[in-house]
Structure 1
Amino acid sequence: MSEITPDLVRHLGVLARIQLSDEEVTRLTGELDAIVENIAKVSEVASADVPATSHPIPMQNVYRPDEVGYMLTVDEALSNAPDADGDRFRVTAILGEEQ
């Protein structure tokens, strides 16, 4: 016996504020029923001795350690800048007004 009925789909559409045509109700009734059946199958084989997982394989951090390394000096950073103001890059205003 199917748990998902056309009336239930229409009710869910009202709750979600989605207007559904009769064709959409018919299609969604079948699709949602298949989803519920598949969830039921998974629930049958799930047991308390199997830990819940979010990933099929264990994950680990793949990033290198965050260590301080060589950093550019202000002069080195500004050496190829087309224009500078003190220790800052000077760029053209893009908003049409100076700030």
Structure 2
Amino acid sequence: MDKVKIPIKKIENPNKRQVCYSKRKMGIFKKASELSIMCGAEIAIIVFSPAGKAFTFGSPDINFMVDKYQNFPVYINDKKVDKSWISEQEYNFILRELDAEKKHT
């Protein structure tokens, strides 16, 4: 029996959209966990809900992964590139969202 192909478009019904978001969020976190366990990959995922709330997954830890990313040098054509594209304000916002999520869990 073949799966029914669902077209990729915005779900207009807010209740159905929330249910779909919740299921898919858990699905992507599960896949990330499996990838981390099976392959030893270090993974960080930050997902913002339609309401603007941040949800995170990190293996080994989301804070470790964010710090590692922020301190990782970027090279393009053998030249080190400045990563100032993420502003200090955006970075602090993400950290506040992570702290708020930790308090709720």
Q: Same fold (TM over 0.5)?
A: no
Larger Rg: 1
Tell me the TM-score normalised to structure 1 length: 0.29
Which is richer in strand?
A: 2
Tell me the TM-score normalised to structure 2 length: 0.28
